[in-house]
Amino acid sequence: MIAPPISNAEVRAFAETKVNLAKETADERRKKVNDEREHLKNWAGEHPECGIVKSYLSGSLAKGTALKTSSDVDVALYVRYEGERKADRKFLDWIAARLRQAYPLMTPDQIEPSEYAVKVTYKNAGVDIDFVPVFYDGDKDNKGWLVSKRTGELLMTSVPMHLDFIRKRKKLYPQHFAQVVRLLKYWAGKKKEDDEQFRFKSFMIELICAHLADSGTQFDNYPDALSAFFNYLLESELKERIAFTDYYGPSALPKSKSSVVEIFDPVNPENNVAAQYTERNRSLIIAAAQEALDALNEAHMASTKADALENWRRVFGLTFKG
Ligand SMILES: Nc1ncnc2c1ncn2[C@@H]1O[C@H](COP(=O)(O)OP(=O)(O)OP(=O)(O)O)[C@@H](O)[C@H]1O
Ligand SMILES: [Mg+2]
C-alpha cells in the first residue's frame, strides 16, 4: 500500500504545535489552581460554618484534554447551602462572598458571579478559574447537583467519578485517547466559529470516543481514529443510544427515548448529556461529519501532497501544516 501523502507523524506535529495546550502551561495552571484549592481548603477548615465543603479540579485541565485556545479552568465547588437550590444571583453572591473572605488579598472585582458560576480572575497568571457549584449532601461517591455552566440547570452527577471514567480510557490508550479527543474538540471549535447553530459539547465528544474505545477502535493512528469517529457518526446518525456499564447496569436506563440524541452520563442513568440537542443540532453534526470524512478520504487517496493538504485544511482550517 502506498503511504498517504499526510502522515500520522504530521498530524501529531500539528496537534502538538496548534491544538494542544502546552504541557508546561498545563502543569503551571494545574499547580496554580491546586495551590488555590489548598488555600481554600485550609480557610474552610478554619470556618466550618461557611458551607464550602471541598473542591475538585474538573473540566479539560483535569482530564488532560485542554486546547491551546482555552484559558478557563473549571473547579467544581461542593457546597452545603441552606437556601433554595437554584443557581440564581442570590446563591452566586453567597459563593462570591465566601471566596472574597477566603482570598482577602484579591480585589472584589477579581471575584465576580458570571452566568452560572463564579469567576476568579488572576491578573498576571493569564488564567481564570470558574468555580462551578455543586449542591452537596455528603454522598460518599461525591454525587451532588452540579450547576450546568451553560444553562444553570441542576444535574445529579459526580465530577470525581467522571475523572475516574476518563482516566480508565486514557490508561488503555496512553497519549492517544486524549490526543484524538483534543483534535476532535479543535475540529468542533472550527465548526462553531463557522456556524453559531453548530453545537458539540466537549463532554459528548469524550463520551463518544469512550464508546468507540470500548468497542475496539484503536487510537494510535490519528487519521484512522478520526475517520472512525466520523464514520461512527454517519452510521449511527447519532440516533443510537450511548451508555456505559462502569457504574450501573443497562436496566437502570429509561425504557423509552425522550430526546433526539441520547448519550447518558456514565454516573447517572437519568442524566442524558445530550438532552438539549435538537433535530437541527443533530443534523448539523452529521453533515459536518460527512464533510470531514469525505475530506479525510480524499486526502488519503490524493496523488499530490498539495491536494492532501488542502483536504486536511477542510477539516482543521488553514493552520494545518503538512
Ligand atoms: N451534561 C452534563 N452532565 C454531567 N456532567 C457534565 C455535563 N456537562 C459537563 N459535565 C461535567 O463538566 C465537565 C466539563 O465538561 P465540558 O464539556 O464543559 O468541558 P471541558 O471538558 O472542560 O472542555 P472545554 O472547556 O475544553 O470545552 C465534564 O467532565 C463533566 O464532569
Ligand atoms: Mg472547561
Q: Does ligand 1 have an atom closer than 6 angstroms to the CB of 158?
A: no
What are 162's strand-pairing partners? none
Contacts of 92 (CB under 8 A, 6+ apart): 113, 116, 117, 118, 133
Evaluate whether 116 touches 148 at the Cβ level (below 8 Å). yes
Query: With a cut of 70, which residues of the chain have pLDDT below it?
Result: 1
**How far does the centroid of ligand 1 lie from the alpha carbon of residue 202, in Å?**
6
**How far does the centroid of ligand 1 lie from the alpha carbon of residue 250, in Å?**
23
What are 189's strand-pairing partners? none
Question: What is the C-alpha to C-alpha distance for residues 181 and 205, in angstroms, rounded to an integer?
Answer: 7
Question: What is the C-alpha to C-alpha distance for residues 286 and 62, in angstroms, rounded to an integer?
Answer: 29
Residue nearest to atom 7 of ligand 1 (CA): 273
What is the pLDDT at residue 1? 59
DSSP count for the chain of H helices, then E strands: 10, 7
Taking the alpha carbons at both ends of the chain, their separation in whole angstroms is: 20
**Cell numbers 435538537: residue:** 278
Residue 167 region by backbone torsions, left for phi larger than 0, else alpha for psi between -120 and 50, else beta: alpha
Residue nearest to atom 22 of ligand 1 (CA): 59
Question: What is the C-alpha to C-alpha distance for residues 22 and 27, in angstroms, rounded to an integer?
Answer: 9
**How far does the centroid of ligand 1 lie from the alpha carbon of residue 39, in Å?**
25
Q: Does ligand 1 have an atom closer than 6 angstroms to the CB of 269?
A: no
Q: Which H or E element spans position 117?
A: none
Q: Does ligand 1 have an atom closer than 6 angstroms to the CB of 21?
A: no
pTM of the model: 0.97
Residue nearest to atom 1 of ligand 1 (CA): 273
What are the helix (H) ranges across the chain? 8-14, 23-46, 59-63, 89-102, 159-172, 176-194, 202-214, 222-236, 279-301, 305-316
Query: What φ, ψ does residue 238 adopt, rounded to 5°?
Result: 60, 30
What is the pLDDT at residue 11? 98
Specify burial of residue 196 (Cβ count, 10 A radius: 0-12, 13-18, 19+).
Answer: exposed
Q: Does ligand 1 have an atom closer than 6 angstroms to the CB of 74?
A: yes
Per-residue pLDDT reduced to its tens digit, 115-158: 999 999 987 777 899 999 999 999 999 999 999 999 999 999 99
What is the pLDDT at residue 322? 75
Evaluate whether 268 touches 213 at the Cβ level (below 8 Å). no
Most ligand 1 atoms within 8 A of CB, residue of 21, 203, 276 to mutate:
203
What is the pLDDT at residue 178? 98
Q: How much is the mean pLDDT over the chain?
A: 96
Dihedral of CA 171/172/176/181: which sign? negative
Contacts of 210 (CB under 8 A, 6+ apart): 165, 166, 169, 244, 266
What is the pLDDT at residue 124? 72
Evaluate whether 110 touches 123 at the Cβ level (below 8 Å). yes
**How far does the centroid of ligand 1 lie from the alpha carbon of residue 59, in Å?**
6
Question: What is the C-alpha to C-alpha distance for residues 157 and 243, in angstroms, rounded to an integer?
Answer: 15
